[in-house]
Amino acid sequence: MLSCRHIASRITQVFVANFRHAPAPQRLEIFRGAVAVADNGRIVRVVRADLNAFLKQLSPQVQIHDYRKEPQAFDPGRVDVHLHGPQFRNRYRFGRQADEELELLPWLKQLTFPEELRFASVRHAQNVYQKLLTELLRHGTTHALMYGTIHGEGTAELFQAVWQAGLHAFIGNVHMEQNADDACKLELPVEASLEISAELYERYHQKADRRLRLVIIPRFLPCVPPSSLDRLALFADERGLLKTSHISENPGEVAWVQELYPHQGTYTQIYADHGFLDARTIQAHAIYLDEKELKLIADSGAKIAHCPGSNTWLNSGVMPLTHYLDRGLSVGLGSDISGGSDISMPLVGRQAREAAKLYAALGRQWKRSEQAESRPLTPAEALYLQTLGGATCLGIEAETGSFEVGKFFNAIRIDFSKGNLQLVSDGDIESNFQRFDLAGDSRNVAAVYVNGQNVNLDPFGLVGV
């Protein structure tokens, strides 16, 4: 074990303020103290008592960032486990007409696939992805799992944008080989698609201080047949990569899967039989699962990306979140841009709380036993899902998600005196955190830290343009 003297010699900067994190789903901690960070960006000490004595024994070379007299505090950086990068420009748009709102399948074919076709242009990809990364930073997201498109060079631009912006990301080209219909140029044979993945793996995986990682992404079963899932899973498993896709998001999609593969079991069973249901798999949405499917997921160790905004806006349904949590399933939150319109993970956390409250209340009102078993999501759980819960889904819970020794200092510095909170914030730190959860936005994000570094919130010079 390192001596106190040796630890102190490694410290390069100390943050002194109020801190909040959720080191467990039902455990919310708020403390006034200090977090000491070494030159490698990792936390080497968390001080909650005898703060002045600790500060006095620091070397004069240590940078001390003291916010005790400021209306500011620290949260862990947010983790988004499901985001479609090329759909950034399609946010707040659910139909081609002003009075039209489409559900999932027509929305994909009429709006989303045509937009993704544009990412054959490297210039277009660069333009959109730089805007996307700027917005992620401004809202406090430090880690994200992001879908690219089928295009190799277009997806490479997403890697490059993340590299330049300073975030951590799991990124992959999207595998599609059937049922894109009018957007058939979005289809590639699995051999060609895997060649793109292999090239991206060599160019970017675990580069930039391991901030960049490849993930394998079949879009969903209607676009990738089970025989191709086998090949994608083999590629991922040989390299220890994460895998992700969509499952049971919308009634029309679930019916389509059964129509395409009538003799291969449930949606979940097909994924399980073909390598996409294990501890390195994240499946998004998971609304329409029966008990047998839930047991398959729980036994496999697969994770779920809960996307409450998208589930609402595409009229897909309400995932029984707290029922899944109480079953022991591992869940993180996803903005699901652009099915979900809001890139802010604190706002997605609020959406998750609203959806869980509504689901439980309607269960009681309609006396539906399966819904009556659900309950509201606690504030601790909501923060956990945005931070350490998301990190756990990505397999990086030892690196980020909370203020604990050994983890990187990935954090948001919140300013309670701005935006919607300007006229209501006060000296009660617990109340201010509650207000941020329910009404905070990018105006309250004063700074974002990744691996201990204060990153530029406008890395491409786009804010105000």
- Candidates 54, 18, 63; CA nearest to 454 is 63
What token pair was written down for 391? 């990190």
Band of pLDDT at residue 1, cut at 50, 70 and 90: very low
Q: Quick one: 107 exposed, middle or buried, by C-beta within 10 A (0-12, 13-18, 19+)?
A: buried
Residue 371 is predicted with a pLDDT of 60
- Candidates 15, 102, 107; CA nearest to 62 is 15
DSSP string, 358-407: HHHHHHHHHT-HHHHT--PPPHHHHHHHHTHHHHHHTT-TTTSSS--TTS
Instruction: Provide the 8-state DSSP code for 201.
Output: H
CATH of region 4-75+403-454? 2.30.40.10
pLDDT tens digits along 183-242: 568 999 999 999 999 999 999 999 878 999 999 999 999 999 999 999 999 999 999 999
Contacts of 89 (CB under 8 A, 6+ apart): 115, 128, 338
d(CA 33, CA 38): 17
Q: Quick one: 34 exposed, middle or buried, by C-beta within 10 A (0-12, 13-18, 19+)?
A: buried
pLDDT tens digits along 334-363: 999 999 999 999 999 999 999 999 998 888
The 3-state DSSP class for residue 333 equals strand
Write down the domain spans for the chain: 4-75+403-454, 78-393
- Candidates 168, 238, 174; CA nearest to 204 is 168
- Candidates 448, 442, 424; CA nearest to 434 is 424
d(CA 78, CA 410): 9
- Candidates 85, 137, 86, 87; CA nearest to 460 is 137
d(CA 403, CA 378): 20
Residue 314 is predicted with a pLDDT of 96
Contacts of 115 (CB under 8 A, 6+ apart): 86, 87, 89, 90
What's the mean per-residue pLDDT of the chain?
94
Find the DSSP H helices in 143-187. 152-165
d(CA 142, CA 74): 14
Instruction: Provide the 8-state DSSP code for 422.
Output: T
d(CA 312, CA 339): 9
Partners of 215 in beta bridges: 242
Residue 347 is predicted with a pLDDT of 97
Rounded to 10 degrees, what is the CA torsion of 367, 370, 372, 375?
-160
pLDDT tens digits along 127-152: 999 999 999 999 999 999 999 999 99
- pLDDT, average across residues 80-97: 94
Residue type, 226: P
Q: Which CATH superfamily is domain 78-393 in?
A: Metal-dependent hydrolases (3.20.20.140)
d(CA 384, CA 435): 17
Strand ranges for 113-267 from DSSP E: 141-147, 168-172, 174-175, 212-218, 242-247
> Do residues 418 and 46 touch, judged by C-beta distance below 8 A?
no
- Rounded to two decimals, the pTM is 0.96
- pLDDT, average across residues 10-25: 97
pLDDT tens digits along 395-453: 999 999 999 999 999 999 999 999 999 999 888 999 999 999 999 999 999 999 999 99
- pLDDT, average across residues 70-98: 95
Partners of 349 in beta bridges: none
